[in-house]
């Protein structure tokens, strides 16, 4: 049983980081984007 890794584009990663910095809440942003 193997886990497939998702590949995220640099643009997607940048938008996540910007949202996390703006809100100050990394876990909230991660949940909103299905990363947690």
pLDDT reported for residue 17: 96
pLDDT reported for residue 11: 96
pLDDT reported for residue 12: 95
Q: Are 36 and 30 in contact (CB under 8 A)?
A: yes
b/e per residue 1-36 (b: at least 16 CB within 10 A): eeeeeeeeeeeeeeebeebbeeeeeeeebeeeeeee
Q: Does the pTM exceed 0.85?
A: no
Residue pLDDT, tens place only, 1-36: 788 888 999 999 999 999 999 999 999 999 999 988
User: How far is the C-alpha of 15 from the C-alpha of 35, rounded, in Å?
Assistant: 13
pLDDT reported for residue 32: 93
- Give the start-to-end residue ranges of the domains of the chain: 8-36
């Amino acid at each position: 049983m193997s886990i497939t890794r998702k590949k995220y584009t640099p643009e997607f990663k940048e938008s996540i980081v910007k949202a996390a910095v703006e809100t100050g809440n990394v876990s909230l942003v991660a949940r909103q984007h299905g990363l947690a």
